[in-house]
Amino acid sequence: MTNLVRHRLFWPTVVLVVLLVSNLIFSDNFFRITLQDGHLYGSLIDILRRSAPLVLVALGMTLVISTGGIDLSVGSVMAISGALACLLIGDLSNPDAVGPVLLVIGAAIALCLVFGLWNGFLVAVLGIQPIIATLILMVAGRGVAQLITDGQILNVHSAPYRVIGAGYFLGVPVSFLIAAVAVGLTVALTRRTALGLLLESVGGSPTASRLAGIRARRITIMVYVFAAAFAGVAGLIYSSDVSSADSNAAGNLIELNAILAVVLGGTALTGGRFSIAGSVLGAVIITTLDITAVSVGVPVETTLLFKAVVVIILCLAQSATFRAKVFGRFGSGSRSGSPRAEVAA
Amino acid sequence: MLRRLSIAVAGGLLLASAVAGCGDSSDSGSGDGGGGGDKITLGFSQVGAESGWRTANTKSIQESAQSSGIDLKFSDAQGKQENQIKAIRNFITQRVDVIAFSPVVESGWGTVLKEAKDAGIPVILTDRAIDDPDTSLYKTFIGSDFVEEGKKAGDWLVKEYEGKSDPVNIVELQGSPGAAPANDRKSGFADVIKNETKFKVVASQTGQFTRTDGKAVMETFLKSQPKIDVLYAHNDDMGLGAIEAIEAAGKKPGTDIKIITVDAVKDGMTALSEGKINFIVECSPLLGPQLMDLVKKAKAGETIPQRVLTEEGTFTPEQAKEALPSRKY
């Protein structure tokens, strides 16, 4: 029992369950999933579908943070990838042909890879602090996106492109499948190979890692490329969902939500140990929180306050020191600053 | 470390200014070299080019200046008040006949407008107001009345359900919290429908004026509200997002759920002409011709009202079909 409570993901899971159950009080068919025009339909499906972009961005952010870095530019990269894809699709002679649309998607992601390399180059080669290095692209990238769309909202009418964000495969949302594959690949790469160990070692101490023979620089560049690529895919999902590119709103402030998701999931901003499952859980909690605010009918003026209160409760619950101070005397001998259980995601 | 840091900052500034520089190109669209004789000179400072609405606004002012023979000195503030104040001071030094501007923010205009007043140059505010208590600082304010827009939306609804007594469940997609258009469109609408008890706003949430949030919030409304008859969205974009959510739920927008929006941009008008939206209240950026009229009157020293409303209409699907081919924005 104590082991369960000490598990790093125990409190986030509790909050998610409480959120879901409290929805049930306000709308009794919250858990109902039906078939609508051949695809799954229901609030839970909405949560899965709408979590996808944040899960992807948080995934990249987890890797970056595990090396002790941070990437503020993910929102701008999202805007750029959506803007470029919509611009190119608008120029296609037949936007409903699958081949050219796939090429466009490839081009958008390729551009994002270049931006990732740029971030990695600034951080790993020039040694600029990550928060400043990625701030450059955060500010300038939004401008690049606006330049691509000419400051307007670009609309596209392309059936294949729509599938990414609003489509279904065997009744399951495609955006959810994309996020699931990305999570699966990342878990396999970091937990089945030595990569995860190397990441944690670079995050723990870059110098010691280098002296131990790890190519820290290469690893650092790689995580920024990963983050940008995931952000690019998230941008495609975001813009495909409404078949348009809005360079002002796309990915706006998502970097903060992603960092929050990572932190909620129990990864420390100082680098080192990281939890992919935790970040995914964090992203799902944030999306559920958004949906709950609307479905419970929290007034617009207090929505942000509502979210803040839930996040604060979760953070306090996760703090071992806080738990020991408040519940210590009633608890079953749990010591303050108890060692956290080692978890493989 | 310090050196590295300064390199980074310099690099960032360089990049940012390169990007910003690209937006500058519209600056030089002014008249033909100082304008001889008794041609009226108008100095205009625009907010920036943040949206399609704003771009159409700029174009309207430039075109109507040209067609009414007014020499326009146009300056783009790129969303910054200090740029706008600088532009107004320049206009004063150049001794233009009239200054017009669309204020980036509401406050902090007292000093520079006093300078214009002392120089005897009349000032016209367009599209956005300022909150200075001294109304003698400007001649007039021309722009939309957002409360009126909300009322027009409500009026249509009252008429549409005239003579029926069944309860009408309304969901509302609000604009960004705290923004004047969001507050006013909400209160104008609420004022009109409160007289009849059958109208009930069952849910009202912000869609941040964006398509994505409009869709997301509508998706949740559709699941948490057992019955929705009418959707009122504070702009076209949120309405367009909501249409996608309604379609995904297997319902017909415009038929199963009636939709009212505000703005009348091209995409919204297209959906209206297809019957997916039932009614759009116009919020027009095309105030150029009216502005030029006021400029001439101000120059001639005629008295003009303190508040001038933009000429705006409303659209039904039939009217949208007619208006669509000539829609500029």
Where along chain A do its domains lie?
37-297
> Between A and B, how many residue pairs show a Cβ–Cβ distance under 8 A?
121
Chain B touched by A162 (CB under 8 Å): no
Across the interface, of A151, A246, A295, the residue whose CB is closest to B210 is A246
User: How many angstroms separate the CA of residue B110 from the nearest CA in chain A?
Assistant: 31
Mean pLDDT of B292-297: 94
Q: Check pLDDT > 90 for residue B115.
A: yes
Least confidently predicted of A219-233, B44-58, B117-131, B142-156: B44-58
Name residues whose C-beta falls within 8 Å of residue B280's C-beta, 6 or more positions apart in sequence. Answer: B236, B260, B261, B262, B263, B264, B268, B269, B272, B314, B315, B320
Q: Which residue of B has its CA nearest to A25?
A: B224
Q: Check pLDDT > 80 for residue B137.
A: yes
Chain B touched by A30 (CB under 8 Å): yes
Q: Is residue A179 within 8 Å of residue A55, measured between CB atoms? A: yes
Written as six digits, the tokens of A221 are 């560049």
Q: Check pLDDT > 70 for residue B26.
A: no
**Interface test mutation site (partner B, options A136, A144, A296, max chain B beta carbons within 10 A):** A136
Cα separation, A50 vs A291, in Å, equals 9
SS3 letters across chain A? CHHHHHCCCHHHHHHHHHHHHHHHHHCCCCCCCEEECCEEECHHHHHHHHHHHHHHHHHHHHHHHHCCCCCCCHHHHHHHHHHHHHHHHHHCCCCCCHHHHHHHHHHHHHHHHHHHHHHHHHHHHCCCCHHHHHHHHHHHHHHHHHHHHCCCEEECCCHHHHHHHHCEECCEEHHHHHHHHHHHHHHHHHHCCCHHHHHHHHHHCHHHHHHCCCCHHHHHHHHHHHHHHHHHHHHHHHHHHCCEEECCCCCCCHHHHHHHHHHHCCCCCCCCCCCHHHHHHHHHHHHHHHHHHHHHCCCHHHHHHHHHHHHHHHHHHHCHHHHHHHHCCCCCCCCCCCCCCCCCC
The B-side interface with A (CB below 8 A) comprises: 4-5, 7-9, 11-12, 15-16, 19-20, 22, 49-52, 54-55, 174, 177, 203-206, 208, 210-213, 215-217, 219-221, 223-224, 237, 240-241, 244, 248-250, 267
Q: Check pLDDT > 70 for residue B187.
A: yes
Q: Is residue A298 within 8 Å of residue A306, measured between CB atoms? A: yes
**Interface test mutation site (partner B, options A287, A295, A296, A302, max chain B beta carbons within 10 A):** A295
**How confident is the model at residue A329, as a pLDDT?**
61
Cα separation, A47 vs A237, in Å, equals 15
Measured on CA atoms in the order B187, B192, B195, B197, is the torsion positive or negative? negative
CA dihedral B220, B222, B227, B231 (to 10 degrees): 90
Chain B touched by A135 (CB under 8 Å): yes
B223:A27 CB<8 A: yes
Written as six digits, the tokens of A124 are 């790993």
What integer best gives the mean pLDDT of chain B?
86
CATH of the domain spanning A37-297, picked from 1.20.120, 3.30.390, 3.40.50, 1.10.3470: 1.10.3470
B19:A140 CB<8 A: yes
Q: From chain B, pick out residues whose CB is under 8 angstroms from the CB of A143.
A: 16, 19-20
Specify the 3-state DSSP secondary structure of B92: helix
B50:A248 CB<8 A: yes
Q: Check pLDDT > 80 for residue B36.
A: no
In chain A, residues 283-322 whose CB comes closer than 8 Å to chain B = 290-291, 293-297, 300-301, 303
Mean pLDDT of B23-39: 45
Cα separation, B267 vs B49, in Å, equals 19
Q: How much is the ipTM here?
A: 0.85
User: How many angstroms separate the CA of residue A215 from the nearest CA in chain B?
Assistant: 22
Q: From chain B, pick out residues whose CB is under 8 angstroms from the CB of A30.
A: 223-224
B212:A27 CB<8 A: no
Cα separation, A274 vs A202, in Å, equals 12
Written as six digits, the tokens of B266 are 């091209």
Cα separation, A276 vs A183, in Å, equals 8
Residue B135 or B217, more confident: B217
**How confident is the model at residue A189, as a pLDDT?**
93
Q: Is residue B211 within 8 Å of residue B173, measured between CB atoms? A: no
Confidence class for position B4, pLDDT limits 50, 70, 90: low
Q: Check pLDDT > 50 for residue B208.
A: yes
Q: Is B265 exposed, middle or buried (0-12, 13-18, 19+ CB in 10 A)?
A: buried
Confidence class for position B174, pLDDT limits 50, 70, 90: very high
Q: From chain A, pick out residues whose CB is under 8 angstroms from the CB of B5.
A: 128-129, 132
Q: Is residue B189 within 8 Å of residue B200, measured between CB atoms? A: no
Nearest to A282 by CA among A267, A304, A303, A260: A260
Chain B touched by A24 (CB under 8 Å): no
A242:B211 CB<8 A: yes
Residue B26 or B141, more confident: B141
Terminus-to-terminus CA distance in chain B, angstroms? 50
Q: Is residue A119 within 8 Å of residue A224, measured between CB atoms? A: yes
Nearest to A234 by CA among B220, B212, B260: B212
A242:B244 CB<8 A: yes
Q: Check pLDDT > 90 for residue B98.
A: yes
Q: Check pLDDT > 60 for residue B154.
A: yes
Q: Is residue B261 within 8 Å of residue B280, measured between CB atoms? A: yes
Q: Of the spans A4-18, A276-290, B98-112, B167-181, which averages the highest pLDDT?
A: A276-290
Q: Is residue B273 within 8 Å of residue B266, measured between CB atoms? A: no
**How confident is the model at residue A28, as a pLDDT?**
78
B12:A140 CB<8 A: yes
Point out the residues of chain A with pLDDT beneath 50.
333-345
A147:B217 CB<8 A: no
Q: Which residue of B has its CA nearest to A251?
A: B212
**How confident is the model at residue B176, as a pLDDT?**
83
Mean pLDDT of B165-178: 92
Write the pLDDT tens digit of every residue in B69-85: 999 999 988 778 899 99
User: How many angstroms separate the CA of residue A5 from the nearest CA in chain B?
Assistant: 33
User: How many angstroms separate the CA of residue A319 from the nearest CA in chain B?
Assistant: 33
**How confident is the model at residue A336, as a pLDDT?**
44
Domains of chain B in start order, with CATH, are 27-144+285-312 (3.40.50.2300), 146-283 (3.40.50.2300)
Cα separation, B178 vs A59, in Å, equals 33
